[in-house]
Amino acid sequence: MELNILDMYSDTLNIYGDIGNLISIKKRCEWRGIEVNQESFSVGQENNLDYENVDMVLIGGGSDKSQAAVSNDLLKQRNDLENYIENDGVLLAICGSYQMFGNKYSSFNENSIPCLEIFDMETIAQEERLTGNILIENSLGLRPRTLVGFENHGGRTYHKYDVLGNVEVGYGNNDESKEEGLSYKNFIGTYLHGAFLPKNPHMADHLILNALKNKYDIDSLEPLNDDIELQAHDFMANKLLKSKK
């Protein structure tokens, strides 16, 4: 089996080590004997992407300045990305790139960043940032039930789609709803940095399995020894739960 992974803008959108998501996916595939073909795409690169042969797309987060540099370039991919998502393509968008899949992003200084307008979602930035470690209970039925990460965003995001999870500690989409992320078909948008996937191997396997299901007749992955990864996950989860009391 093999997976074709599109790594988008990791040279620009890689705040808080989001490139670790790609590394995690590749290693977990390698340990299972799944071949990974990686293609990287950067700002200004000629648009010759063949999304029909892409199995997974990974996009990290960045500052408003980095988002602005990427947004106009990303708009060139808009129709291809929408078709990819609607056809059950697996896509993980972190923080700033998550925001760009909505209708509107307004910064607190009244500047706006062009968005893809794929989801009916709005992000309104405020000067006070939502920052800190975050713990959520995932809505995907994954075990462990918790997902951990780090968030640092001025944007408050609002939508009516299914969410990645409910916030137990931290902020998530905004400082009102106690909801985090967006889940639509095989698209996952989230504010969790850290990198996200190394500390949440069950989430990484969820993405890998769904990508493989689009190509092969399988319904499960070969188990891995995740003792070290889950120790890291459990340490942070337990620490945050204690801080909640």
Domain boundaries, the chain: 2-244
pLDDT of residue 243: 87
When the pLDDT of each residue in the chain is averaged and rounded to a whole number, the result is 94
Beta strands (DSSP E) in the chain are 2-8, 35-41, 56-59, 90-94, 104-106, 112-113, 122-138, 146-158, 165-169, 179-180, 182-184, 187-190
Q: What CATH fold (topology level) applies to the domain 2-244? A: Rossmann fold (3.40.50)
Taking residue 80's Cβ as centre, other Cβ atoms within 10 Å add up to 16
The answer to whether residues 233 and 201 touch, using CB atoms and an 8 Å cutoff, is yes
Residue 82 has a pLDDT of 98
pLDDT, tens digit, for every residue of 149-194? 999 999 999 999 999 999 999 999 999 999 999 999 999 999 999 8
Residue 63 has pLDDT above 90, yes or no: no
pLDDT digits (tens, 9 = 90+) for 70-101: 888 899 999 999 999 999 999 999 999 999 99
Taking only the tens place, the pLDDT of each residue in 138-156 is 999 999 999 999 999 999 9
Alpha-carbon span 27 to 36, nearest angstrom: 9
Q: How big is the CA angle at 140 (ends 243 and 151), to the nearest 5 degrees?
A: 40
- For residue range 110-140, list pLDDT tens digits in order: 667 889 999 999 999 998 999 999 999 999 9
- Catalytic amino acids? 95, 193
Bridge-partner residues for 158, per DSSP? 122
